Structures are given as structure tokens and as C-alpha cells.
């Protein structure tokens, strides 16, 4: 019995893998990439005294940050201009006025010399205050130095283990001021072993510029997240079109192929309409970002529905708190002819797209504005006829799947028979 289960398990795994491939986010097709200048990233690291605390994988927070930086520097794409700015690295005294000016450019934003940057990082030692607001202002200047207002992406990645100690210069207000300048700068924040107050402040900073907040408690998590953010800066800059979904399909905006952005309240539904001509295929994907602290379990659902409310296809995804972006997608090939008895051949069908999320805000977190979402819509040439589209969206590969299932089934029977025969021979001997 044990041996006969193995082929079945393999077939189930294959089915799961193939089925998972049906739903996927498609590449953005709206707007042309506008990144004409090199993307820039400024890593802003907290080097205040609290970074000496030993509570990350048995080492200090500073050691975790250094290790992450070294690995990130090795993996930084060649086209990215990267810099490093510190806060609280130089002044060890008690004078608050002086401590709140303690921010310096450790490595200038520009083409990366990995050896030089690593040497600079090695010199860091936890020292002073936590002037987050002043550091963000200076980092914005780092990225906009020389009057460079090009269209390449600009991103600040702030890593801190505590809230700002230099009030009344509120870092949230600083982030809003940076966003108001219209220089296209995004601030992402990472909190090391966060408490509620720090989480609220770092979430607010990220939210003000459309960035993300991530809590980190292990070195590998820090490395992975910083790498993701640096890589994201290298992606071509695409300008999404702002839209506003409706509460029902009847009043929803009609979208053409493109990349769209919207906001969705916690647990809310947003509706959009897409016109799909006969013989064409609708491909849609949605990403919902948790730009503030949320509950540990959440999901996102994207449904394609007829105007009469009948579900056509759906895509869904679930998360457990290990990522701040949840994505899912769907495909709907529109056959050349409807199955209607009158044999009419409609020019197009209106498909309603419903986006739903099951995020829940953490205690004390603002629920407005809604969570940012990006919706990609693409209407492309579809299969030449309906017979090209098999069940589960597998297309002409259905016969291969059937053959694999049959082979696995027969292999299980043969293996089971051989096992019983061997057992019978062994008993007779």
C-alpha cells in the first residue's frame, strides 16, 4: 500500500504545479517605460546606540545590518546607482541638538564600487541618536543631487530599530513633504525587532510616498527584503493610470489594456469592466499591497463575472504575514461563437472584474486611505477556435496531462502487483 501511494502523490503534485501555472500576473502593457536615466537607491541605516542590542540570530542588530548590506552589494544590478547614508553614526554625546544633526553620506549615490562600499560599511559602529527626519531630508537631496530630475526611479530604503528621537521634526511630515515635491521618490521602511510605536511611525513614512513597510526579525529576512527593493528600483518605470473602481459592476469604469492603480478599503470589493471581443483573450492580474501593519492571515481574490452575475473564472491568493504584497491573476479566452441557441456571433462581451481583499488592520492602524492596488488588464489574440481551449486553461496540453495521469495510474498498479508477487514468493520460501 505504501508503494502504490507514491505515483498517486507524484501525479497530484504534477496536477498542482500545472494548475498553479494557469493563474499568473502578466507583464504591464500600459504606458511605455519612462526610465531614461539610471535608477537610484539610497540605503539609510540606523547606527544609533540601540543597534548594539543582541537579539537577531544571536548577534547584534548592527551585525545583521552589515551582513545584509554586504550580500546586497554583491547582488545589486549593474544599472542601479546606489548610495549609503547613516544616521546616529558619529556623535556619542548627550547634546540633543547636536545628536539630531548626526547624519552623513557614507557612500555617495552613483556607480557602485562594491569593494569600496563594503569597506565603508565595515567601519560602522553603533553610536548615537536616531534622527530619522533629518536623514530622510538629506537622502532626498542625495538622490536629487546635481539637479538631476530624470525619469529613472528613485528609492530610499530606511532600516531602523527604533522611532525618531528628534521631535518635533516628525518624520511622517518629512515624508509627506518629500512626496509633495513631486520628484517621484519612494520610501520603503524596514523595522528591526519592531515595537508598536516604531511600527506605526515607519508605516506612516512608507505610506506617505507609496512605499512599503516590513518588520524584520532575522538576518536572512533583512537581506532578502533589501535585495527585493533594490531589484525593484531597476525595473522599468511604468506610469500607471489612476482609476476608481465601483461598488458594483453596473457603475464600474470600463478599462482598456493597461496598468491601473486604485485604493481599496480593508475587506472592500472594487469592480471594473473590460470589453472582450469574440476570439480574443482577457488576461488580468492584481497586486494588493499592505502598506501598513495588518493581521497575519489575509487573501486577495480576482473574479471575472458576466454582467448577469455568473462567474467565469477566478484567481485567488493567500498570505501569512511573510510578504507585504499579494498577487493573483486570471485568463478568459472568448470563443468566436457563443453557445447561445440562436447562433449569434456578438462583437464583444462585457466582463466584470471584481477585486476583493481580506486584509485586517492591526490594532491602532489607520484604515484610510485604502490599501494600494495595481490592476493589469491585457486583451490579446486568443485561440483560433474554442476547441483549442481545454478544461482548466491547459490548452492543447490536456492530452499530455491525461497521458501522465494514466501512466502514473498504471505504474501504481504494476508496482503494487509486483510488490504482492514478491511478498508471496518470499512467504513460500
CA distances from 318 to 207, 325, 356, 384 (A): 22, 10, 12, 34
Query: For residue 208, is pLDDT > 90?
Result: no
Looking at the domain 241-388, which fold is it?
Answer: Jelly Rolls (2.60.120)
Residues in the chain: 429
Mean pLDDT, residues 380-400 = 51
Query: For residue 396, is pLDDT > 50?
Result: no
Highest mean pLDDT among 18-32, 67-81, 160-174, 398-412: 67-81
Pairing of strands 298-306, 348-357: antiparallel
Neighbours of 262 (CB within 10 A): 22
Q: Which three cell numbers stand for residue 380?
A: 490579446
Q: Any idea where the domains of the chain sit in the sequence?
A: 2-21+394-428, 40-234, 241-388
Please report which confidence band the pLDDT of residue 345 belongs to, taking 50, 70 and 90 as the band edges. Answer: low
- Tell me which residue of 205, 234, 309, 217 sits closest to 75, measured CA to CA: 234
Question: What 8-state DSSP symbol labels residue 58?
Answer: T
What was the pLDDT predicted at 239? 65
Mean pLDDT, residues 41-68 = 94
State the Cα–Cα distance between residues 213 and 309, nearest whole angstrom. Answer: 37
Query: For residue 319, is pLDDT > 90?
Result: no
What was the pLDDT predicted at 29? 40
Angle between helices 196-208 and 132-143 (to 10 degrees): 30
CATH top class, domain 40-234:
alpha beta
Q: Which three cell numbers stand for residue 271?
A: 469592480
Neighbours of 8 (CB within 10 A): 14
Mean pLDDT, residues 219-237 = 86
What was the pLDDT predicted at 25? 37
Query: For residue 160, is pLDDT > 60?
Result: yes
What was the pLDDT predicted at 244? 93
Q: Are 299 and 266 in contact (CB under 8 A)?
A: no
Please report which confidence band the pLDDT of residue 279 belongs to, taking 50, 70 and 90 as the band edges. Answer: confident
Query: For residue 14, is pLDDT > 80?
Result: no
What was the pLDDT predicted at 148? 53
Q: Which three cell numbers stand for residue 232?
A: 525593484
Amino acid at each position: 500500500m505504501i508503494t502504490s501511494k507514491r505515483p498517486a502523490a507524484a501525479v497530484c503534485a504534477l496536477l498542482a504545479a500545472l494548475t498553479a501555472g494557469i493563474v499568473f500576473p502578466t507583464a504591464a502593457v500600459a504606458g511605455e517605460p519612462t526610465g531614461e536615466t539610471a535608477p537610484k537607491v539610497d540605503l539609510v541605516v540606523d547606527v544609533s546606540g540601540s543597534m548594539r542590542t543582541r537579539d537577531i540570530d544571536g548577534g547584534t542588530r548592527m551585525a545583521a545590518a552589515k551582513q545584509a548590506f554586504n550580500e546586497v552589494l554583491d547582488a545589486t544590478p549593474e544599472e542601479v546607482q546606489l548610495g549609503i547614508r547613516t544616521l546616529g553614526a558619529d556623535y556619542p554625546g548627550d547634546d540633543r541638538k547636536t545628536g539630531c544633526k548626526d547624519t552623513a553620506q557614507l557612500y555617495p549615490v552613483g556607480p557602485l564600487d562594491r569593494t569600496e562600499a563594503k569597506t565603508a560599511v565595515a567601519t560602522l559602529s553603533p553610536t548615537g541618536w536616531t534622527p530619522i527626519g533629518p536623514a530622510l531630508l538629506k537622502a532626498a537631496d542625495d538622490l536629487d543631487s546635481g539637479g538631476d530630475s530624470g525619469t529613472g526611479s528613485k528609492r530610499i530604503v530606511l532600516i531602523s530599530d527604533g522611532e525618531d528621537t528628534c521631535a518635533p521634526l516628525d518624520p511622517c511630515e518629512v515624508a509627506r513633504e518629500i512626496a509633495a515635491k513631486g520628484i517621484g521618490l519612494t520610501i520603503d521602511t524596514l523595522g528591526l525587532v519592531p515595537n508598536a510605536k516604531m511600527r506605526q511611525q515607519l508605516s506612516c513614512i512608507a505610506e506617505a510616498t507609496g512605499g512599503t513597510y516590513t518588520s524584520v526579525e532575522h538576518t536572512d529576512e533583512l537581506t532578502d527584503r533589501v535585495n527585493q527593493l533594490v531589484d525593484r528600483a531597476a525595473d522599468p518605470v511604468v506610469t500607471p493610470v489612476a482609476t476608481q473602481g465601483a461598488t458594483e459592476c453596473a457603475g464600474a469604469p470600463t478599462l482598456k489594456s493597461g496598468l491601473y492603480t486604485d485604493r481599496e478599503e480593508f475587506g472592500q470589493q472594487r469592480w471594473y469592466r473590460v470589453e472582450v471581443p469574440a476570439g480574443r483573450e482577457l488576461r488580468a492580474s492584481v497586486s494588493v499591497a499592505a502598506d501598513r501593519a495588518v493581521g497575519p492571515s489575509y487573501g486577495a481574490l480576482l473574479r471575472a463575472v458576466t454582467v448577469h452575475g455568473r462567474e467565469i473564472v477566478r484567481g485567488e491568493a493567500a498570505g501569512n504575514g511573510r510578504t507585504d504584497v499579494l498577487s493573483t491573476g486570471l485568463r478568459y479566452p472568448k470563443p468566436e461563437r457563443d453557445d447561445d441557441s440562436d447562433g449569434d456571433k456578438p462583437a464583444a462581451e462585457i466582463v466584470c472584474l471584481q477585486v476583493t481583499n481580506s486584509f485586517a488592520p492591526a490594532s491602532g492602524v489607520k484604515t484610510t486611505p485604502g490599501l494600494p492596488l495595481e490592476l493589469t488588464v491585457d486583451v490579446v489574440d486568443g485561440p483560433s477556435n474554442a476547441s483549442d481551449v481545454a478544461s482548466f486553461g491547459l490548452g492543447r496540453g490536456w492530452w499530455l496531462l491525461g497521458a501522465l495521469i494514466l501512466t502514473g495510474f498504471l505504474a501504481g498498479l504494476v508496482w503494487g502487483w509486483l510488490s504482492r508477487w514478491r511478498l508471496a514468493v518470499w512467504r513460500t520460501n
